[in-house]
Amino acid sequence: MLHNVYFWLKPDLTAEQRATFESELALLPKISYLASGFAGKPAPTEKRPVTDHSFSYSISLRFKTMEEHEFYQKDCPDHKRFVDTCKTFWERVVVYDSSSLS
């Protein structure tokens, strides 16, 4: 199961608030039970009609099971800390969850 989240941060954040967001976001892919994880910014790829560079940051977390994803959403202290610390920093969040075809 893949959990992809895109964040659009408020434009008036201070450098300190942006640094807090980055450091908190960077901790999430390090959660021990994840199959893998990645946090980043829009890549400097070529502008094309199908490419969206408008987001500020993204995270992609791969869970081994749906149960691990559910734990992350409801009971994971790391996720809760991230949301509690950073929820005032973004103006928009979009989540794309995917499950394997096989």
Host H or E run for residue 10: none
Supply the pTM of this predicted model.
0.94
What's the token pair of residue 47?
Answer: 């502008």
Q: Where residue 93 sits, what CATH number does that domain have?
A: 3.30.70.100
pLDDT of residue 16: 98
- Other Cβ atoms less than 10 A from the Cβ of 28: the count is 22
pLDDT of residue 102: 79
Domain that residue 37 falls in:
2-98
- 3 state DSSP class of 92: strand
Describe the chain by its helix, strand, coil percentages, rounded to 5: 35, 25, 40
C-alpha of 82 from chain center: 10
pLDDT of residue 40: 97
- Other Cβ atoms less than 10 A from the Cβ of 6: the count is 19
> What is the block-wise mean pLDDT of the chain (102 residues), using blocks of 10 residues?
98 98 98 96 96 97 96 97 98 96 85
pLDDT of residue 39: 98
Instruction: Count up the domains in the chain and report the number.
Output: 1
Compute the distance between CA of residue 86 and CA of residue 42 in angstroms, rounded to an integer.
Answer: 19
pLDDT of residue 8: 98
**Residue recorded with tokens 């940051």:** 57
